[in-house]
């Protein structure tokens, strides 16, 4: 597994990462890796991604999820 060093990371960014790590019960290192993985998976072509989002929204627009189902899902998935 590779190792690399980041230099000149703004204090505010480190503080936000530490907060996120605490909230997700992860180490700072794990949180930083997860953030990098998520960003690396982000679509390179933002316009194409936005078009897919719009298409998905159009599919769902006429079929809203009942509030009770949403509440049940949120309660069920809380740690």
* Residue 8: DSSP 8-state: S
Check: CB of residue 47 under 8 Å from CB of residue 33: no
Residue pLDDT, tens place only, 14-58: 999 999 999 999 999 999 999 999 888 877 778 888 888 888 888
Residue pLDDT, tens place only, 62-74: 777 788 888 888 8
The domain spans of the chain are 11-77
Token pair in block for residue 25: 């019960």
* Residue 62: DSSP 8-state: T
């Amino acid at each position: 597994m590779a190792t690399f060093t980041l230099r000149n990371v703004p204090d505010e960014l480190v503080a936000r990462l530490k907060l996120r790590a605490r909230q997700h019960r992860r180490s700072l290192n794990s949180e930083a890796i997860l953030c990098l993985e998520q960003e690396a998976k982000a679509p390179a072509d933002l316009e194409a991604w936005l078009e897919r989002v719009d298409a998905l929204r159009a599919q769902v627009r006429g079929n809203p999820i009942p509030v009770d189902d949403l509440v049940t899902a949120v309660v069920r998935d809380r740690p």
